[in-house]
Chains A and B, each alone.
Chain A
Amino acid sequence: MKRVDAKRYELNVQLAQMLKGGVIMDVTTVEQAKIAEEAGAVAVMALERVPADIRRDGGVARMSDPSMIAAIKQAVTIPVMAKARIGHFVEAQVLEALKIDYIDESEVLTPADEECHIDKTRFAIPFVCGARNLGEALRRVAEGAAMIRTKGEAGTGNVVEAVRHMRTMNREIRQLAAMPLEEVTGFAKTNGIPYELALRVKELGRLPVVNFAAGGIATPADAALMMQLGCDGIFVGSGVFKSATPALRARAIVKATAFFNDPAKVLEASLGLGEAMHGLEIGSIPKEQLLAGRGW
């Protein structure tokens, strides 16, 4: 497979730009996909089990059954994303052949390669990848990711890790922007940042691609928090369909994301939603079961 041209990559980054300010929701059935679309989701992530269930069930989590993804693609008009395992470039080839809109090379699935991520420059289909810090985000961009998201800690309903990852990225971007040019080489070396991209971020004062929040977002206030921290949009995994009132909560998170700077509207969105998904304290999860540490 040869590398795709710069124009195709540009188009893929631009599709992500059109998702800004929106919410992308994990769905496991056609019915859920329709609820998400009706609620105003800008895209759906089709997968067999939401992260909370993957976490509970254990075992190896792989790419979802393509026939299930195809059924969801058939059922909605908004973009459809699906997950491939880190480094599993053949799962990615299968998803590209299925003609979905975006691939998430995701730590939520069991990694297929502990050394290499997918060489995303060889695909015409766009990729979104998770990151905990600026170096990780820019390594993925260097590999061809057209969109970045925080890793957070998926399936916990606990936003603390997503906040940590976003604050870390912002801090590193601010440092880079403020430092004299001669310090950039060392900063790039220490943080594993491709030098050219470090210069780009220094100049732009942000990532060169869209950056969404993901991992642990469970309430309208969580979504607005991540937006106020500077994210361009929101992924909600287990937070919608593991709650007491999925359709209501889905709409509420869409509202709060659009009006993240307006406390009265976030309040309005937060009323009468019933119980949020059960949350997990990160410290109570055995180290080997943490998902954010997968990939590098």
Chain B
Amino acid sequence: MSSQNGRTAPAADTTLGVLDLQGGVCEHLDHLRRLGIDARAVKQPGDFGGLAGLILPGGESTCLARLLKIFGLEELIVARFRQGMKLWGTCAGAILLAGSLTGEAPHLGLIDIEVERNSFGSQLDSFTCEASVPQVSPDPVPLTFIRAPKIVRTGTGVAVLLRIGDFIAAAESSAVLVTVFHPELTPSLAFHRYFARKCGLAPRGEETALDHSWETTSWTRLARIV
């Protein structure tokens, strides 16, 4: 998509993709559409064109890593990333993007952080809380942690966005955002708005704290039988 010989540059990419191999895909698409962002599920190599950014959703990181590898999507994501596509990993997605994983080999390795998987224990240890993340939202942001990993270290070129107790819950580099919680499972659009802007897009609507029309079943609109 690069312009050559001084011809008119192609229109900037305006779409965000959500990697659709397994996990919380509709939830992210629903949030992005609430911001008026052109968003689509991305599954096949042909789907990666024209993306300003890609979200790697929550799911099971071992499953996602395996599917990325066998379908050759790893190289494709890295190649598009090098051409300027921004990335955001939530939960399992953050695990896939991490440069290092405690006690195991990393996957995409596109941000210099160390992540420890399943740091909290079983589903009984999943929890919600609220925190202030000044760079992302003027209001406190609701946070949902489901069998979450922890970011235990950040390296060069990585800024911490949110630290809770002994771990880092959100961080970013110039081109990659990582959150170990799930903004797509809450009524807050703040992180999606933040990522859209990071990708050079202009999300619609007011900077409201919460989208009160959001419900826990909002995702089902993208997964209807009828």
Contact = CB atoms under 8 A, between A and B. Distances in A.
B172 interface: no
A78 interface: yes
B67 A254 contact: yes
Contacts of A73: 122
Nearest to B63: A40
Contact of A126 (B123, B182, B221): B123
A7 B185 CA distance: 12
Counting chain A residues whose Cβ lies within 8 A of the other chain, the interface size class is: 35 or more
B144 A14 contact: yes
Contacts of A22: 22-23, 59-60, 63
Nearest to A42: B60
Given A78-B60, A204-B224, A11 B144 contact: yes
B36 interface: no
A173 B67 contact: no
Interface in A118-170: 124-126, 169-170
Counting chain B residues whose Cβ lies within 8 A of the other chain, the interface size class is: 35 or more
A20 B226 contact: no
Pick the most buried of A18, A101, A173, A230: most chain B CB atoms within 10 A of its CB: A18
Nearest to B58: A18
A22 B62 CA distance: 11
A115 to B, nearest CB: 29
B122 A101 contact: yes
A6 to B, nearest CB: 9
A77 B126 contact: no
A205 B225 contact: yes
Interface in B192-226: 216-217, 219-221, 223-226
A174 B226 contact: yes
A8 B128 CA distance: 9
A95 to B, nearest CB: 11
Given A20-B22, A21-B23, A99-B122, A42 B63 contact: yes
A177 B147 CA distance: 35
Contacts of B63: 22, 40-42, 78, 254
Pick the most buried of A40, A255, A259: most chain B CB atoms within 10 A of its CB: A40
Interface in B90-127: 91-92, 117-118, 121-124, 126-127
A18 B123 contact: no
B23 A7 contact: no
A185 B40 CA distance: 38
Given A18-B146, A101-B122, A258 B185 contact: no
Nearest to B67: A258
Interface string A24-42: 0000000000000111111
Interface in A241-274: 251, 254-255, 258-259, 262
B124 A96 contact: yes
Given A14-B144, A21-B25, A170 B225 contact: yes
Contacts of A255: 67, 70
B89 interface: no
Contact of B146 (A11, A38, A102, A177): A11
Contacts of B62: 37-38, 40, 77-78
**3 closest pairs, A vs B, by CB?**
A205-B226, A40-B66, A205-B224
Interface of A: 7, 10-15, 17-22, 37-43, 73, 77-80, 96, 99-102, 124-126, 169-170, 173-174, 177-178, 200, 204-206, 208, 230, 232, 251, 254-255, 258-259, 262
13 contacts: A11-B146, A13-B216, A14-B216, A19-B60, A21-B20, A40-B67, A79-B122, A99-B121, A208-B217, A251-B66, A254-B66, A254-B67, A255-B70
